[in-house]
Structure 1
């Protein structure tokens, strides 16, 4: 038996196993740190104005949705300003007190001033020691559609930093009563309920709206939210009670 050859073979096998483990570990860490949320936008294929004052399907509406979904209070005319087209977002952001610079971070808004209207996107990842970023966006690669791109930081005009952790949680208004949430109901509380469900990530149940008329979409969205609380049976029947209402507005 050639001990030298045998030792060499064992070493090679050990080296291959070690390299494979390192590669697997790097891949796992990279995947775990990914911040891409996905196409959770609730107004896919819809028209009209969204709850934040932007046209549905546009890049501005998608970013406004994402900011609000993550906990920021963000809308077109907030704090007496006016964001308007994406081209003007950085200027308005500065005027109302938001930090605007050229340094990316996850959760920031990437703004591009080129073209007639400009463009905005959500920064999902910062890569290569801050040289590239992965963005989520609407109405760029696909007309009124969702896309993810990795781009250079130098291609971005500005980064707008909307405070997410410093926003005050929405105070729950008093629960109006179960009679406002049943078949045939048509009132402002149904609209409030639906808007809060969309903010919490349950917009996929709405083909249009939400609006004041109680619908099966409202019931399905409420039921999904209730199940997410760990409730079952009658506690997750899709009809809101005081506790469901309270948790929706947390």
Structure 2
């Protein structure tokens, strides 16, 4: 009886405060509606990260703090701005989900409103992602908890503040098994950042703002839609999505930047290690 009472008191504490770290909360699984009780049922209020209660941004900031152990800096604003601000602050934003990362949706993407949307990634199974979120009305009403699953490509990006998956450190993936001479392939889909003549760049491939070292020959790439299906025109413009089929040889590795040099078409290009998997 005492043990049951203690467990009950711990549960109440988890619901009532953001300062309690609940046992097992860092595991790769759906955690349920653990949003603080007073924020969930209170009136108008602002959380410690200056987000309004019961909005998607507040829930995401709360999860990052309570589960990931990451404090979101002040100034991230509406969900639509999160990805760009995160990149500017040096955080990786790509199309590779990880447990504990933030799924980021631009306006109109996968049901997001005009101010965008953010959610916390709870599970990743192959190409399927399960997210937990607030204020996504799927019939339960606004400003409420919700969870859903979909193909990993149906987002604008995944923000890696401080992921929870094994094989990550400080929000960055460790993939030290890849060595020079290995064969690798690209995983996921990528968005075009810029087009210049017959070349393109992608922040997703570069792992940040592209430089002259991240220029890509688009001739081997395949333009796809939000579901990963090839499109009919195959003319890439900024904001459009593509995949890179085929196998590639690792030419060089730069551990400090987590970069790998491969040749795509006629150009040798540095890409972030997280977009590759060893064959």
Which TM-score applies when normalising by structure 1?
0.49
**Greater strand share, structure number:** 2
Bigger proportion of residues as helix: 1
**Which one has the largest radius of gyration?**
1
